[in-house]
């Protein structure tokens, strides 16, 4: 079965107090977690991850979102990421 994504959800991002993650959001309809990482010049790339509502709730309540990302999401074969290209005039 071809798992090609035909339309990416437009997920509103909320700022985050983290040394690694600039902002995050979730689309309940598609079970997609959106993470925008920090870069040296400010907000960095946005990535989408398939994510269950329960894992998203755990992420939201994690004491360290960066540590949660590193241990539960990053390199998790059940949560492959998709890099989202931001149009220049829609960048935050």
| Domain boundaries along the sequence of the chain | 14-86
| Total-model pTM | 0.83
CB atoms within 10 A of CB 59: 20
CB atoms within 10 A of CB 55: 20
Residue 49 contacts residue 31 (beta carbons within 8 Å): no
pLDDT band at 5 (very low <50, low <70, confident <90, very high): very low
pLDDT band at 87 (very low <50, low <70, confident <90, very high): low
CA angle at residue 72 from 66 to 74, to 5 degrees? 70
What confidence tens digit (pLDDT) does each residue in 23-81 have?
Answer: 999 999 999 999 999 988 888 889 999 999 999 999 999 999 999 999 999 999 999 99
Give the pLDDT confidence score for residue 9 in this predicted structure: 80
């Amino acid at each position: 079965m071809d798992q090609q994504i035909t339309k990416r959800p437009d997920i509103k991002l909320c700022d985050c107090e983290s040394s690694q993650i600039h902002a995050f959001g979730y689309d309940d309809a598609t079970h997609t977690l959106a993470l925008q990482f920090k870069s040296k010049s400010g907000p960095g790339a946005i990535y989408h991850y398939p994510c269950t509502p329960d894992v998203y709730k755990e992420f939201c309540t994690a004491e360290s979102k960066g540590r949660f990302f590193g241990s539960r999401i990053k390199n998790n074969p059940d949560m492959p990421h998709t890099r989202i290209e931001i149009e220049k005039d829609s960048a935050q």
